[in-house]
Structure 1
């Protein structure tokens, strides 16, 4: 109960800080301090975005942001998703995954291989995110350590080459290709503008 109250307190502090600094690039070190030094600060930010609909962006969304930087673009809410994973489902997924992170292999309770200063803590993550139509069914869930869940250990995943990505995009429907285009334009607005200018010059 106390842990949950601390989490809610950290989330409220982060929410107020983002609103007070809307449009400003915020560093992870500052946000962790705002959250009272909580090790769960990144998770609270995801909850603000996914569950409360705050338009918070990271380097995954905007090219001008560096890893560890966040920005509340504006106060216009985005679609939010209620997390409704039961304790029974959490327990089932953790047991099924052998209490081991499915990205890096770290085992719950042991020193983390990428951050030996803290013990491995496991969370439940979605394979297909709810924002992309994923569900809370056990088949769409997996155990992830806090490091991988925060995106700090994405190096454990092999990144697809541009050739493979383009091959997949070419095979997709026109509507899906437009969604990819919209996402790319949103992430690279300056580069898109420069490209259009060069195209007109040719």
Structure 2
């Protein structure tokens, strides 16, 4: 069983089962890569629903697919390929063969639990891009709640370190959008028009945020972010206690 993928010869280096995306013993990222290689192929179009249906029971399949991009896998969405439908993706190019031992960690940044916790605490458990808190409902998408993840301040290179200063807290929606910034996003003039409409006090606040590259949280916002980390039952207790406090 021999394959040639993106210039990498992979015949004879691993067993047949190690190159079968159905093998549940393989990591999810490897299974996704093999599924894309064998079932889709370069230039092929697929949907996330089809991917999830193929690799059932694996955690964070969508995220593991995105993790292939830093390893040279070019996976386009409708945002940067107008011919695609909103639920479609296109495998433009197969990248490094992550099923090979020497390429398994290609494009991955290893983030320690300590660093992850430090960044979340530094950012108040809120998305640095849109301000939504963990598990908070999106104002423009009722019923959809935010899941926080870590994003990179700048696009990273394969194998580089993942320090707290390189990372920011993002919700999954912003994290996905930032990866695919295209001309469909608001342009400079549109953003500037919004800025000019702000009252003077808000203009000054915005400039301070831009200068520091961070939006400082008020004490109430910090308390809200911490409150959102609590289990639902405990949140109800805290809400009840606060209501009693204000009514006393």
Q: Normalised by the shorter chain, which TM-score bucket?
A: 0.5 to 0.7
Name the one with the larger helix percent. Answer: 1
- 1:11 matched to 2:36? The reply is no
Q: Which residue of 2 aligns with 1:21?
A: 40
Match of 1:88 in 2: 114
**Distance change >3 Å, CA 18–CA 114, structure 1 → 2:** farther
Equivalent of 2:51, from 31, 47, 62? 31
Distance in 2 (CA, whole Å) between partners of 1:42 and 1:73 is 17
TM-score, normalization by structure 2: 0.49
Question: In structure 2, do the counterparts of structure 1 residues 127 and 117 end up closer, same or farther at CA, with 3 Å as the change threshold?
Answer: same
The 5 A counterparts of 1:87-106 are 87-106=113-132
Distance 1:63 1:135, change over 3 A: farther
Distance 1:113 1:15, change over 3 A: farther
Please tell me the root mean square deviation across aligned C-alpha atoms, in Å: 3.8
**Is the counterpart of residue 75 in structure 1 residue 75 in structure 2?**
no
2:154 aligns to what SS in structure 1? Answer: coil
Superposed CA offset, 1:10-38 (max 9, x none) = 43442232112112111233223334276
Structure 1 residue 127, shift from structure 2 partner: 1.6
Q: 1:140 matched to which residue of 2? A: 166
Larger Rg: 2
CA shift for structure 1 position 114: 4.6
Report if the CA contact (8 A) 2:77-2:84 is conserved. Answer: yes
Secondary structure of residue in 1 paired with 2:46: strand
What are the ranges of 5 or more consecutive residues in structure 1 without an aligned counterpart? 1-5, 165-202
Deviation at 1:42, TM superposition (A): 2.4
Any gaps of 5 or more consecutive residues in structure 2?
Answer: 1-23, 98-102, 193-248
Task: Tell me the CA shift for residue 68 of structure 1.
Answer: 3.8
Normalising to structure 1: TM-score of the pair? 0.59
Query: How far apart in 1 are the matches of 2:29 and 2:121?
Result: 29
Work out the CA distance in 2 between the residues paired with 1:31 and 1:123: 21
Q: Distance in 1 between matches of 2:50 and 2:189?
A: 34
